[in-house]
Amino acid sequence: MTTTHVLLVRLKDRSPESIAACRAQLEQQNASLASVLSSEVGTNVRDAAIAYDIANIVRVDDLETYLKEHGATPEAGYVRSVMADAAVVDFDS
């Protein structure tokens, strides 16, 4: 069964440049991981205080393998260093 992993990220610096840089890191990470079956990275289009800046959506066959792989990447370190807050949802799909 496939699992969909959704990561929502709110950045410390919410400027368009910072959002674009973080999005690029997530796209690069997703493309480099063998465990990722498909992915989509999107940026928020609505100005709201409760909104997150970026959504990273990946589909994987083995969530634990994906989490181990992505946690060890330089891109994951970058995202952790620039995020103010995050939320995650994992569901069978």
53-90: pLDDT as tens digits: 999 999 999 999 999 999 999 999 999 999 999 999 99
Query: What is the CB neighbour count within 10 angstroms for residue 33?
Result: 17
Token readout for 38 is 């498909």
- Of 3, 1, 4, give the one whose Cα is nearest residue 57: 4
Q: Domain with 12 in it: what CATH number?
A: 3.30.70.100
Q: What pTM, to 2 d.p., does this model score?
A: 0.94
Q: What is the mean pLDDT of residues 26-46?
A: 97
Distance CA 93, CA 75 (A): 26
Token readout for 74 is 């330089």
Distance CA 84, CA 91 (A): 24
- Per the structure, the count of domains in the chain is 1
Locus of tokens 């959504």 = 55
* Confidence at 1, pLDDT banded by 50, 70, 90: confident
| Segments forming the whole domain that contains residue 70 | 3-92
